Structure 1
């Protein structure tokens, strides 16, 4: 109060009357509209817009029905209009006490009891009439009065039957009314998934309409990458079509209806900081057995004093077992509110660490826990096809594609359904693939390239004047038949020869004849066929390690509707009569 004087008298100004805050009650799913959802792996960030009228001065806005899986540390409020946001609190909506009865319910229950008693009486009357009819005998009734007796019976029974039906229907109606009354006593049930309330203080400079946006993270939402890989074997340029899809799942309690959706590959780390290293000290452990040197019992008095002093020093030492007090926890400061921006409905990717996909159009994802698939983008990629087989173990030809991700999009880890020429082949796991990176994709079996693994032939000879030696020459033939109408290049046939584990056994690969001086060099076997040690074409391989395991392969080109033969021959030499283990 401010005092003032007039004509020598002191007066006090009357304070303005206290103004109560204007109360505004809103329901989140009814009065708010979701303007955007960003889905991460394991959570989502939701932006919900509210428009309402405020009065000049203090307004208390209460928004009920926010999801219970809301991360309260992420909750923030932004607004538009001539007003100021003062305070924001979040609380749990408590379930109101439900009355167990009411005058109307008591009246219905009494009416039900009366109807049940009337129904029992009616059934008993019907039973009595039926029992009376069974007691009548012909010798006790005049035949002239028999017709009247039956007429009276039918009339009475008909009246009782109609009464029985009326009472049964009346009882059913009363029970339905009781159910309705009990439901009204329960009131509007609180959805346990939408059991949070936000209270927001808004001070308005003038009456009018304002807008506030609630931005919050929720658990129970995620998306996984899915792919369709479609390969056209007749196409030379960009034979692979990769359809990048997302499977979105959410059980947050609120439906996302017709919302702009953004898929994020980054993982939010709320409050996660760099861990701090604690002091790491060393000390020498001294056993307590040194205290037994004194007399007068197990511990001398001077020894006990020494031990107590040592214990006190150890407790104060940096390397003692008593841990130092924990560092004070840093206070959590709310993040500054970022200005709102309007994004275009495009698909985008940024950076090498994370990618953002802004899916075109509006999507609806209900809170049902079911995966809802949406196509992110369709990519046309180059690929190098290769055919690989190990005919010694399996004569079937495997088809493989080395695909280059030249799209500029980051491909996340996920499952891929593979189709070749329109036919489903298999489902394979796809590893994470960065932009510009190559990845291998198995395309299943190709039955159009037939392989025949002929029986092996063996010839044995003896040599040596003083030291007799048995030499066995093994020959193997493999036939490739390309039944396609086009030539097939880059067919890899993997084979092996045995490796000696004994100095008295010698193994020599005769055909194909690799050079001992140039272990990494390919051997031209014939036109369209080269031989090389296994993994010789892998980057960074050590040439001196090639052939140590006896594995090698041919790389072949087979014309359309043609066959080629691959010849393998090797020699095994050992002392005469030696029993060689593992030769066959």
Structure 2
């Protein structure tokens, strides 16, 4: 059997040629430069991420050899963590103690103090000697006096007595002079000693202060060293924990079998052949191969920054690619490409409230001619917040959110396909557009700028464009009023190279990048575009919430396809918060809610009911219901708004519901002009499907308008109206 030459390569030792990030996977291409021997060869590549799709592994390349087999599997990792990352070994406590200096090792210059102490000691010795001399002199004098007193004058020899007296006088003078001299020396020495003690005390105080300062500096240095060591150790621990998070006990393995013999047939005609020329039969040869594989679960998501300029009626959108390497591999000096292939996103935000069809039916009442009519007064959507103890105008936020969710869920099931505007079916399209909105849960801006009205020759076209029912694009040039006269230079971003292939767009990021396994996200600019068409509309559903939601309708006038993703929203330089952009193709429209505008005041009156007397020939119970909504524009520019209300829908032929005001609203699709005084504005009222009534109004600044919905309901005598199940 022919000898098999084996070699192993760690994946970390292979250079990374390219990394292609799709939304849900990453394609890695690595380069293998290997030396093979004559005969059969086995090259094992170890260390691939264990989540690798083994079916995606591919090998190709060039060189005087033939690939005969490729085997893939997941095996146990051989390396130890500390061997791969020796620099992440955490330091021990004992290693810190060696940096702690002994306080006794602090050296301060005390030569002057020692000299003073030595001088003080010598002076003290001199004073002690002088004191001794003085005491000796006084003792001699006292001894002579005592000896003289002991001599008896009657028995004393005069010659000896005379001799003693002469000696006494001479000795007394000598000792007395010595005592006075030593006393003077003592006084002088004591004065010098006092001065010397003061000097010594000053030097001792200075020495103590200098030593304390040196010790303080040493303690500070020691504390800094300990703090730095602790910080370094904490960073090592964080780095180690992060590396351990991506460390796996199992890894992917690829075995490549090559034959360096030249086959009988041309190698280029065989699949997997890497033959180029014929080498010498007994010499090793070099081969170059590319290893490509896919790791599922890795990818990128779009992150947007939407800036709306209301005076210029345009918006700018910046798209960034947000990605990170969450695999166990390190991609060194790789060419990174972001691809939109197989992009899929999910998730919905809270939409603007919409009205759900309100069905009623009849039932008998125990007391004739006394129906309650309560179920024809308020719809189920507004009854739940009322049961929580709130008023009909202001609802508790939690109850309102719950009611909106129920309404939206039921409305979605009833939505139908789009139908051109000004037809009875246009309500379905508007519901669908409203359901896609996501209100920003943040305080709304108070902008000094003003919204520009849509350039339209008629109110109908303005209202339709505000609702997104028209695909007309406003190509007006943006205003230069917001530009700076002397703009400062801005930091530039490196632009990627984009290419579009069918439904897929790729962005090749500039330069080479090293992506290590990390929890940190990386963000790179992909595209930035100016969208030239923007309209603003206030959407008001007062019976659900007495507030004006500002909605922006934007046409994607760029060539970029907007993918669904999170976005930060700024309006006229004020950051509002974050929301979600829907997917939008070029030249298509998308809407986004900008939250509640506090500059548009909405008041929704309490509903009233007035019972009617029944006729003599037709025994019926009847009542008239009235709902009123006031809207005031406190802004400095006119606004376009859509106000929605509804009447109940009958489920039986015995029930009759008729709109009394606005007049002319009998069937779906009916519309009439709104009677407004000159200078207030203009508008229309349209009867939509499912009993919904809409007011399309342009309201001038500083003006207010009242919209009244009045309807009557009739049921046979002995019956009342209840909400249908």
Provide the C-alpha distance between the structure 1 equivalents of 2:500 and 2:68, rounded to a whole number of angstroms.
37
Give the whole-Å Cα distance in 1 for the aligned partners of 2:698 and 2:616.
46
The aligned residue for residue 262 of structure 1 is 337
State the alpha-carbon separation in 1 of the partners of residues 613 and 513 from structure 2. 81
Partner of 1:524: 673
Larger RCO (CA within 8 A; separation ≥ 6) = 2
What RMSD, in angstroms, separates the aligned Cα atoms of the two structures? 4.0
Alignment pair present for 1:509 and 2:585: no
TM-score, length of structure 1 as denominator length: 0.55
1:359-398 pair list within 5 angstroms:
359-368=509-518, 371-381=521-531, 382-398=533-549
| Structure 1 residues 226 and 266, CA gap change in structure 2 (3 angstroms) | closer
Alignment correspondent of 1:357:
507
- The answer as to 2:406 corresponding to 1:423 is no
> Following TM superposition, by how much is the alpha carbon of 1:509 offset from its aligned partner in structure 2, in angstroms?
1.0
CA distance in 2, matches of 1:475, 1:22: 93
State how far apart, in whole Å, the 2-side matches of 1:557 and 1:66 are: 64
2:370 matches 1:218 = no
> Is contact 2:76-2:250 (8 Å) kept?
no
C-alpha distance 221-468 of structure 1, shift in aligned 2 (>3 A)? closer
SS of residue in 2 equivalent to 1:392: coil
8 Å contact from structure 1 (residues 451, 479) kept in 2: yes
Question: Shift of the alpha carbon at 1:363?
Answer: 3.8
> Could you say which residue in structure 1 is the equivalent of 2:492?
none
The answer to whether structure 1 residue 201 and structure 2 residue 258 are counterparts is yes
Give the secondary-structure state (helix, strand or coil) at the position aligned to 1:408.
Answer: coil
Q: What is the rounded CA distance, in whole Å, between the counterparts of 2:61 and 2:54 in structure 1? A: 19
Residue aligning to 1:455: 606
Q: Are the structure 2 counterparts of residues 194 and 480 from structure 1 closer, same or farther at C-alpha, using a change threshold of 3 Å? A: same
1:73 pairs with 2:225 = no
1:521 is displaced (CA, Å) by 4.0
Q: Secondary structure at the match of 1:485?
A: coil
Structure 1 residues 363 and 424: CA distance shift in structure 2, 3 A: farther
* TM-score of the aligned structures, taking structure 2 as reference length: 0.45
> Which residue of the other structure, out of 68, 74, 84, is the alignment partner of 2:65?
84
Q: Is the 8 A contact 1:456 1:475 kept in 2?
A: yes
Query: Cα–Cα, structure 1 residues 202 and 94, in superposed 2: closer, same or farther, change >3 Å?
Result: farther
8 A contact 1:462–1:468 mirrored in 2: no
In structure 1, distance between residues paired with 2:601 and 2:625: 24
Aligned length: 380
Matches within 5 A, 1:141-540: 192-194=249-251, 196-201=253-258, 203=260, 205=279, 212-239=288-315, 241-267=316-342, 345-352=496-503, 354-368=504-518, 371-381=521-531, 382-421=533-572, 422-428=574-580, 430-462=581-613, 464-467=615-618, 472-489=623-640, 491-501=641-651, 503-514=653-664, 516=666, 519-526=668-675, 527-534=681-688
2:705 corresponding residue in structure 1: 564
Closer, same or farther: CA 53–225 of 1 in aligned 2, 3 Å: same
Per-residue CA deviations over 1:543-583 (Å, capped at 9, x if unaligned) read xxx3xx32111111112232222232223345678655469
Any unmatched runs of 5+ in structure 1?
Answer: 1-17, 99-189, 269-343, 535-545
**Greater share of strand:** 1
Counterpart among 687, 692, 695 of residue 551 in structure 1: 692
Q: Structure 1 pair 560/60, CA: closer, same or farther in 2 (3 Å)?
A: same
CA deviation digits over 1:59-80, x for unaligned, max 9? 7655443444433433233334
Q: 1:214 to 1:474 in 2, by over 3 A?
A: same
CA distance in 1, matches of 2:314, 2:48: 49
Structure 1 Cα separation of the partners of residues 6 and 606 of structure 2:
92
Inter-partner Cα distance in structure 1 for 2:543 and 2:248 = 65
Q: Distance in 2 between matches of 1:97 and 1:368?
A: 20
Which of 16, 27, 32 aligns to 1:34? It is: 16
Residues 77 and 345 of structure 1: is their aligned pair in 2 closer, same or farther, counting only changes over 3 Å? Answer: farther
What's the CA shift for 1:524?
Answer: 0.9
Q: Is the 8 A contact 1:426 1:444 kept in 2?
A: no
Q: Which has the larger radius of gyration?
A: 2
Q: Distance in 1 between matches of 2:711 and 2:248?
A: 78
**Alpha-carbon distance in structure 1 between the residues aligned to 2:67 and 2:717:** 100
5+ residue gaps in structure 2?
81-246, 261-277, 344-494, 676-680
Q: What does 1:15-54 align with in structure 2 at a 5 Å threshold? A: 26-30=9-13, 32-51=14-33
- The structure-2 alpha-carbon separation of the partners of 1:452 and 1:396, relative to structure 1 and needing over 3 Å to count, comes to same
Hey, what's the Cα distance between the residues in 2 that align with 1:219 and 1:28?
14
Specify the alignment match of 2:396 in structure 1. none
